[in-house]
Every structure is written in structure tokens, then in C-alpha cells.
Amino acid sequence: MTWRDDAGPAASGRTESVVPRSVPRRHPTIAEVARVAGVHASTVSRALRGESGIAADTVGRVRRVADELGYRPDPAAVGLRTRRSGLIGVLVPRLTDVVLATIYEGLDAAAAEAGFQTFVANTGDDPETRRRRLATLRDRRVDGVVLGDARLTDDDLLAGLAADGLPYVLVSRRSRGHLSVTTDDLRGGRLVAEHLLALGHERVGVVAGRTYSSTGVERTRGFRERYAEAGLPVPEELVLPSRYDVSGGREVADALLAVRPRPTALFAVNDFTAIGVMGAVRSAGLRIGDDVAVVGYNDVPLAAELPIPLTTIASPMTEMGRVGMARLLDRAAGRTVRSVRLRPRLMARESSGPGRPAGSPGAD
Amino acid sequence: MTWRDDAGPAASGRTESVVPRSVPRRHPTIAEVARVAGVHASTVSRALRGESGIAADTVGRVRRVADELGYRPDPAAVGLRTRRSGLIGVLVPRLTDVVLATIYEGLDAAAAEAGFQTFVANTGDDPETRRRRLATLRDRRVDGVVLGDARLTDDDLLAGLAADGLPYVLVSRRSRGHLSVTTDDLRGGRLVAEHLLALGHERVGVVAGRTYSSTGVERTRGFRERYAEAGLPVPEELVLPSRYDVSGGREVADALLAVRPRPTALFAVNDFTAIGVMGAVRSAGLRIGDDVAVVGYNDVPLAAELPIPLTTIASPMTEMGRVGMARLLDRAAGRTVRSVRLRPRLMARESSGPGRPAGSPGAD
DNA sequence: AGACATTAAGCAAACGATTGCGATGAACAC
DNA sequence: GTGTTCATCGCAATCGTTTGCTTAATGTCT
């Protein structure tokens, strides 16, 4: 079944960069399969695609010939005829962000299982770049689009997408009136609040993320709501927007720690931001977990392994990708689908309190 | 000049958003452009592609009509005709690894500038998965492939790739006899050794990475060579292979710190591994930078922002991607190209010594 | 003024698959 | 033995571009 007539792996790469290339490695076409199998090309097509109306032995013979020849349909030809590309476009703020990269893994895995392939592009959260990248995806005639960089309100890119018929779904961030798969960020924020309340923190600050992303906004809102319910509303000056990277957390935390009376706990809506917060706390000569509790969000793999393990909210990122892709494909198939909010879980670790054992406290 | 008897763009989209889906958003074809411009489709094609032999005013008219109509060539049709997909496949161990994600950003940016689009897939460093993913890329008729997960020796996937004519290039990791763009890992290892020697460390250990990846192997080799030259060969028991993640570093460092006499410095061939090492050092009750110096490799953004900033080797990851893509496209165009090794730079920070100011010590 | 370049644009055949429809033959009922 | 019904499979059009070859029109040279 394996062919090794040619060069063979023993050809020891001596002439590394001498001759450019040569053997153009032709792919067999459906016509060749038809000829060898002694049937018409249309029959090969139907047999391979498992349509009814073809004799069982014919199907068998065609299939055998096809993979003896190593036949693989040319996606360009298929796409031209069927008007379907088998491609799903994915737009993310940045793939170097582990959270998005993980979601993308889930998206891609689910797409692959359904016979689709994905196409990522970074947008850097920049409107103009988004527009250009989306145009590129359209040019490629993608069958659907996944957006990981939706804006909470007034996202006209989404409006445009909804206007023409390209199926799409949002992941990670929500936006009013659009199909999305996210974690329940409101609930996640509340979980953090309850955790800190239980530990007795009465004066707390929030490194709140970007004002245009639902993740930051809703995590912050859930958190503040819960504190307000406990009769300890979080004052405005202790809630500051931030970037989603380490240095963003560092800068904002420096500011929050300068407020008097100083907060005894800081909630950062993103783990990397939280790492920046930890840096700020240490630089201020304070002890993480003792003097100032720090809580993050997402439970990236790094969080549990830090010198001082980070208390954070586990959000099922890979699953979010898988579910998001499933929803998109459902929608593209014309089925009616609804937005999903996945359940977040608290991972209590040392950064929020004295010597608690690593791992989740239980719950579901 | 142009006749516009038909529908015309002025038909004012009144019934815009009444029905949710429906409007399948037809793309105009080259034939429609031709009709509106009053020329033949072949003329449109030539005009748009800037071929010679078309009158300047015709070119102008066609161009104008084309973008009034929003014409974009159908990639499936183009691909079918030209046998070129405009797609470059990229295989990486894992996209959630910031190093690879950053290299990918460079690859993608350079590809986009050259009019190509990229296609990533994770292989998890698993031979069978690699083979399957590569087959998928072949099925898509990619014009070239970038491999980020090459094995140092006996990589039969590469042998097969070389045998048939698909252009390819390796990034990040090298493999004998294949075109690659990497950093000079031998030199990087030496830089670390020189740094630690200058600080007076005589007994050092190495968290060496995977034995099948050139990165780990060569960084380790360069390091050991330099120490051997200084008359202080690193003993075998202080050099252990590892995974490239945080917990891998943690486990191996636990073992190294148990060796007696205990090493005073540990070199991890990857920043995340180094973070795991830092965790192990702290857990052993030792002070990072004072009792045990820790050095990583890659200078990921996180490194400089850690509570104790990490001394590491800056490897130009984005540039590696850009250069890699450029080399691949050169090769695909039939030009002869040679492998490249980019220059690494030491970033001395606090993790390797007492209170040194953050940033590079200078050099080029 | 006629032969001949030269330039500009059209014609039509690919590329490789899918698919509506028609043709063929066998099985079957009467 | 004729007519009808299935089950199989072939025919040919089609998707939207690109490109070798022709044709038509214009200019140039002797």
C-alpha cells in the first residue's frame, strides 16, 4: 500500500540546495479513476460520495481503484461546481494570546471532524484590520466565519455580516443580538466576589480589561453586583480599564495600589493581566496572598504553575471552540440555534489566601 | 461608453433587513464585469492582471467597473485553471505555544504581503498526526509547506516531502539536509554559558528539552561546549531532557536540585520551562538569582514582566517567520536558497544575578 | 500604394468535479 | 410476447477563470 519506488529516504540530503525542484507530483483526476475502473466519471463521483443508485460492487471497485491511485478530489474543482469551499474563517484579536489560541484549537478540531478546515487571521482588535481580514475571508469564499473579537455594542462589522447571508458565530466575547458561545462571565465575576467575600476582603479593586469587550465588562459587572449585594459596593476609583497583557496589569495595579485606603484584594479579568498585578504587588513590597489577594480569569496552564499559584476562574476554552464551531455549522445548515453560556468554575489557589491546597474546592 | 440599461446600482436597498437570511449575496463574475465594461471576459482578465497588450483606457475602464461592482476573482476558478491555490500550509507542534504562535504571525504577515494565505495545523509532535495533517494540506493543493516540528534526524516526513516536488521550509527547528530558518542555537547556548561563567558559576545544570528537536539539542550543546572550553565540563547527571512546558521544567528542576553538590545555576532551553524551574527553586526554599541563577530561552513577552524578571536569550521569532516565508516563496519560484541562522541576543535580568537592571547589556 | 508589422481584443478550449436528465437493460406483470 | 417499472449508469452542461491562437484594425516602410 505504501509506495517507495522513487528516490527513497536513503537518498541522504547531499545536494541540499542545488537543484530547485523537479517532479511536479501529479494528482490523479476523477477521469483517470473512471478509466481504470471502467466506468464514467459521473459514476465515480456518485460512488465515492456514497449516493444511492449505484450497484454495490461498482461502488466497491471504484473505491478500491480510487485509493490505489491515491485519488483525492481537487478542492478547487469541487468548490467551483458546488459553490462551497469547505473553509471556515476565524478572526481573533491575536493568536499569541493563549486564551484565543486554545479556543482556536477547539474550533479547528471540531471543524476538522466535520470535514471543514479553518483559516485564522489576527485583527489586533483594530476595526480597519478586521474589515480587511474579513474581506480576505470573503474573497476566499469561506462557508462561515467565527469572530473572537466582537465588540459589545455598535459593532458594525457584525451588522454587515448579519445583513448579507454569511453564517457566523461569536466566541469568547458576546454582542447583543448575535449568536455567541461564551462563558457565563457575569457568573464568573460573581464567583470571584463570593470567594473574596468569604475570605473577608472588604475593600477590593478590579483591573477591568477593555471597555469594548464583553468579557471584561461582564466579569467586572458580576463582581461588582455581588459586592454591592453584600453591602460593600466597589468604589469607582478602584475599577480601572486595562489591556489584556502582563504590562497592562502591571500599570493598572500600580495605580490601584496607590489608592488609600489600599485595597486588600485585586481581581484582574485575565490571567496574564493578573500576572502583571502580582508583579506590581511584589514591587510595592507587599506579599501576594497575605497582604494583597490576587485573582485572575481563565485558568491558563501557567496559572497553576506559577511560583505562587494563581487563584482564577476556569473557563472551558477548548470546549468553547468546539461548541462554537458546532453552532456555526448548525446555523450554516439552516438549523435554528441559540447562544450558549458555558459554566465557569473557581480554582482557589495560594494567590488569594494563605496556604490553601492547590486545586478546585469542589463544586460540580 | 458604458451602458447600464439593467437593474443598476440605484435600486436602493429598501427591503434590507426584513428577512433574516435569504439574500445569498452573489459575487459578480468576470462575465458581468465584461458585459458592463463592453468587452470580452478575456480582456477583463488581462486588464485586471496588468498584462501588456491592452489599451490604457480599456484597462482603466475595466478596473473602474470591476471595483464598482465589487468584483473579486473566485479563488476556486482561478485555482482550477492555474493549478495554484495561493495557500501555504503551516504545521506546528502547538499553536498554544507562544513561541510558535509568534513565528506563525511572522509567517502569515509575510505570506499576506506576497498575496498568499496560510493554513495552520497542530501536530502535537506526533508522527501519525503530522502525516495526517500534511495529507490534508496536500489535499488542499497548497503551494508550499512550512514545518515547525522537524526532527533533528531520521525525519521521514521530510524525506517524503523532498522526494515529491512540494516546496517546503523548516522554521524553529533544523534537520540535516533540509532548508531551514532558525536562530543560531549553538551560539545562543554559548551566550548563556558565557553569561553564567562571567557570574562565576562553576556547577551548572541544563533542562535540555526534547532529544528530537534541534532547538533543545543545539542550545544544550553550545552551552556545554563553552563550559568545557572553560575547563568546567557539565556532568551528564546535570543535563536532563524535558518537555517544553511549565510543568516539564518543574519536574526536571526538582530532580536537578536534588543532585549533590547542588548546581548554582540552571539553564532551561525554553522560557516556559524556565518558569517551571523558578517554581522548583522557590519550592526548594532557595532564592532565584541569589542561591540559584535561572536562565531561559526565547524572551517571550512574559519573561521581562515576571515578579523576578527572567534572564533569557532573545530569539527573533517574528523575523524567523518572515524570513522563513520569504525563503519558501523564493524556493517555490525556483530560486536557489540557503538555510539561515538568525542571531540570538542575551537579555540579562534579575533571575541570573543580584539586582541587575532589566534589559540587554548592550551588544549589537 | 501595397506589403507587412504591430497593437488590441475576441474566440474557445481547457481545468476537474457535480448533477439533472435520458438511455439501457433486466425483471416483472399481464 | 408486449408493455411497464426499476435499478444502473452514461451524457453533457456547468461552475468562473486563464490563455494560446485568430482576427481586426491601425500604423510603417519602401
Report the SS3 class of residue B266. strand
Q: Is the peptide bond between A261 and the residue preceding it cis, with omega within 30 degrees of 0? A: yes
Q: How many helices (H) and strands (E) does chain B have?
A: 12, 12
- Per 3-state DSSP, chain B is made up of helix, strand and coil in percentages (nearest 5) of 45, 15, 45
Sign for the pseudo-dihedral over CA of A128, A132, A138, A143: negative
Task: List C-alpha distances in Å: B69 to A84, B50, B85.
Answer: 22, 19, 24
What's the pLDDT at B354?
66
**Percent of chain B scoring above 90 in pLDDT:** 82
Closest nucleotide relative to residue A57's CA, C1' based: D8
Q: What is the pLDDT of residues B172-219, one digit of tens each?
A: 999 999 999 999 999 999 999 999 999 999 999 999 999 999 999 999
Are the C-beta atoms of B264 and B189 separated by less than 8 Å?
no
Q: Is the peptide bond between B261 and the residue preceding it cis, with omega within 30 degrees of 0? A: yes
Mutate which of A21, A294, A318, A331 to test chain B, going by most B C-beta atoms within 10 A? Answer: A21
Find, among A149, A125, A122, the residue nearest to A136 by Cα. A122
Strand partners, A288: A292
Distance between CA atoms of residues A215 and A181, nearest Å:
12
What's the pLDDT at A8?
31
DSSP strand pairing (B265-268 vs B204-207): parallel
* Nearest-neighbour CA in chain B from A230: distance (Å): 33
| Size (chain A), residues | 364
* CB-based burial label for A147 (10 Å; 0-12, 13-18, 19+): buried
Nucleotides of D under 7 A from a protein CB: 7-12, 14-20
Interchain proximity B178–A13, CB inside 8 Å: yes
* Nearest-neighbour CA in chain A from B135: distance (Å): 10
Q: Is the CB of A46 under 7 A from strand C?
A: yes
What's the pLDDT at A25?
60
- The ranges of chain A with pLDDT < 50 are 1-24, 355-364
Confidence of residue B20 (pLDDT cuts 50, 70, 90): very low
Torsion of CA A299, A251, B99, A95, to 10 degrees: 70
Confidence of residue B25 (pLDDT cuts 50, 70, 90): low
Grid coordinates in use for B238? 546535570
CATH number 3.40.50.2300 given to B85-183+317-343:
yes
Q: For helices B30-37 and B56-69, what crossing angle results, to 10°?
A: 120
Q: Is the CB of A62 under 7 A from strand C?
A: no
Residue of chain B whose Cα is closest to the Cα of A5: B163
Distance between CA atoms of residues A284 and A280, nearest Å:
6
Q: What is the pLDDT of residues B301-334, one digit of tens each?
A: 989 888 789 999 999 999 999 999 999 999 999 8
Mutate which of B26, B95, B339 to test chain A, going by most A C-beta atoms within 10 A? Answer: B95
A117's enclosing H/E stretch is strand A117-122
> Stretch B282-294: mean pLDDT, rounded?
93
* Nearest-neighbour CA in chain A from B23: distance (Å): 6
Grid coordinates in use for B37? 465594461
Residue of chain B whose Cα is closest to the Cα of A308: B279
Find, among B76, B9, B63, the residue nearest to B34 by Cα. B63
Q: Where are the beta strands (DSSP E) in B203-324?
A: 204-207, 239-240, 265-268, 293-295, 312-314
| Secondary structure (DSSP) of A59-100 | HHHHHHHHHHHT----HHHHHHHHS---EEEEEES-TTSHHH
What's the pLDDT at B363?
35
Write down the mean pLDDT value for chain B. 89
Residue B154 half-sphere exposure toward CB, CA atoms < 13 A: 3
Distance between CA atoms of residues A310 and A304, nearest Å:
6
Find, among A188, A187, A219, the residue nearest to A206 by Cα. A219
Find, among B34, B284, B119, B197, the residue nearest to A140 by Cα. B119
- CATH class for the domain made up of A1-73: mainly alpha
Residue of chain A whose Cα is closest to the Cα of B288: A307
Say how many C-beta atoms besides its own lie within 10 A of residue A214's C-beta.
24
Protein residue with the closest CA to the C1' atom of nucleotide D7: A53
Query: At residue B12, does pLDDT exceed 60?
Result: no
Whether A85-183+317-343 and A185-311+348-352 share one fold: the answer is yes
Conformation bin of residue B359: beta by default, left when phi > 0, alpha when psi is -120 to 50 = left
Conformation bin of residue A336: beta by default, left when phi > 0, alpha when psi is -120 to 50 = beta
A169's enclosing H/E stretch is strand A168-171
Grid coordinates in use for B292? 540559584
- Could you say which of B24, B163, B276 has the minimum Cβ distance to residue A165? B24
Distance between CA atoms of residues A11 and A8, nearest Å:
6
Q: Is the CB of A82 under 7 A from strand C?
A: yes
Nucleotides of C under 7 A from a protein CB: 7-12, 14-20
What's the pLDDT at A272?
95
Find, among B125, B138, B296, the residue nearest to A75 by Cα. B138
Distance between CA atoms of residues B217 and A138, nearest Å:
43
DSSP strand pairing (A265-268 vs A293-295): parallel
Grid coordinates in use for B51? 498584462
DSSP state of B93: S
Strands ordered across the beta sheet of A293-295: A239-240, A204-207, A265-268, A293-295
Mutate which of A161, A305, A318 to test chain B, going by most B C-beta atoms within 10 A? Answer: A305
- A-chain CB neighbours of B178 within 8 Å are 13, 16
- Could you say which of A20, A96, A246 has the minimum Cβ distance to residue B305? A246
- A-chain CB neighbours of B122 within 8 Å are 105, 108
Distance between CA atoms of residues A128 and A130, nearest Å:
5
CATH homologous superfamily of B185-311+348-352:
Response regulator (3.40.50.2300)
What's the pLDDT at A242?
97
Q: For helices A246-257 and A271-283, what crossing angle results, to 10°?
A: 50
Q: Is the CB of A358 under 7 A from strand C?
A: no
Find, among A310, A303, A302, A296, the residue nearest to A191 by Cα. A296
Find, among A89, A210, A90, A220, the residue nearest to A152 by Cα. A210
What's the pLDDT at A207?
98
Report the SS3 class of residue B309. coil
Q: Where are the domains of chain A?
A: 1-73, 85-183+317-343, 185-311+348-352
